[in-house]
Amino acid sequence: DIQMTQSPSTLSASVGDSVTIPCRASQSISSSLAWYQQKPGKAPKLLIYKASTLESGVPSRFSGSGSGTEFTLTISSLQPGDFATYYCQQYNTYPLTFGQGTKLEIK
Amino acid sequence: EESLVESGGGLVQPGGSLRLSCVASGFTFSNYWMHWVRQAPGKGLVWVSRIRGDGSSTTYADSVKGRFTISRDNAKNTVYLQMNSLRAEDTAVYYCTRLLDRDMWGQGTLVTVSS
């Protein structure tokens, strides 16, 4: 199985900051990488797919980059609603696998 | 409006069985692969299983293979997850999802395996 690693598990930032959340795959997954946002008690919400394509309706302050094994999610000008947990997911090979998540907290 | 609504969760003893259902509405259900993803309390997301739109192909995570069965009834716009030989580690919220294909998720249903 392809292992997805997200580190750190928690990130602290302030409203208005820009943050970058990294994700690493244990082997090359080309650009088959998605990013999800999850808030407590809610289902995940797709933000980005194909490593850098913004899902319809997602604000442009979210962006993704990378290919192969190294990927990043960048959130510019953090808004209060952006404080949540973010998961990367590879869909290059089954079983699909998720990173363990990065919780973005208010500093 | 498109929606997915799961049901069937609850408390079950180890070794027991449970069947989850997910009713879809607002889209042509048979056109889509459907997936189940679970999340243990306070933990991350884990993909469980998928089924092709016509029901002809299924895939499972190793952790549930041989114990869980995914199926669908396109006439009822419903996907099922039959869970047998349940273990404590199967305790989780189970989400039905049209993963990555005009991505959408249900609200989840909680399965608790405990004596």
Query: Does residue B101 register a pLDDT over 90?
Result: no
B100 in contact with A at a CB cutoff of 8 Å?
yes
B1-30 residues touching A, CB cutoff 8 A: none
CA dihedral sign, ordered A90, B87, B3, B71 = positive
pLDDT of residue A36: 98
Residues of A in contact with B44 (CB under 8 A): 87, 98-101
Chain segment A33-71, per-residue pLDDT in tens? 999 999 999 999 999 999 999 999 999 999 999 999 999
CB neighbour list of residue B100: distance below 8 Å, 6 or more residues apart? A34, A46, A49, A91
Distance CA A82, CA A60 (A): 13
Which tokens belong to B36? 């189940």
CB neighbour list of residue A104: distance below 8 Å, 6 or more residues apart? A11, A13, A19, A21, A75, A78, A82, A83, A84, A85, A86
Query: Does residue B38 register a pLDDT over 90?
Result: yes
Average pLDDT over every residue of B17-31 = 98
Of all residues in chain B, what percent carry a pLDDT higher than 90? 97
One-letter identity of residue A72: T
Which tokens belong to B57? 């192909």
Question: CB of A19 within 8 A of CB of A75?
Answer: yes
Distance CA B15, CA B79 (A): 23
B114 in contact with A at a CB cutoff of 8 Å?
no
